[in-house]
């Protein structure tokens, strides 16, 4: 009989704490932006399409020849996810 009351009380406390954390984070972001702070990726950290095409030209060539994604990843020594991203961007 005591356990359900205790669990409900602890669940309510946890919910209130999550809301407080969310509020503090949001107010911190607002304060940072108000003082001319920039949130997000730094300029230049994202490669342009031309940079990717130059960097992964071997991957693109092998994709056009019909090699499998896993074989290309082994040949070029990069991740399978990288090959999939290059395929979706350049070979559709």
Q: What is the pLDDT of residues 20-71, one digit of tens each?
A: 999 999 999 999 999 999 888 888 888 899 999 999 999 999 999 999 999 9
pTM for this structure? 0.58
What does the H/E/C string look like for the chain? CHHHHHHHHHHHHHHHHHHHHHHHHHHHHHHHHHCCCCCCCCCCCCCCHHHHHHHCHHHHHHHHHCCCHHHHHHHHCCCHHHHHHHHHHHCC
Residue 92 has pLDDT above 70, yes or no: no
């Amino acid at each position: 009989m005591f356990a359900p009351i205790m669990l409900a009380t602890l669940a309510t406390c946890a919910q209130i704490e999550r809301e407080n954390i969310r509020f503090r984070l949001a107010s911190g972001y607002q304060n940072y932006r108000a003082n001319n702070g920039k949130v997000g990726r730094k300029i230049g950290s994202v490669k342009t399409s031309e940079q990717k095409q130059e960097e992964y030209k071997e991957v693109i060539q092998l994709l056009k020849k019909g090699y499998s994604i896993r074989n290309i990843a082994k040949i070029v020594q990069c991740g399978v996810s990288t090959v999939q991203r290059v395929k979706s961007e350049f070979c559709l």
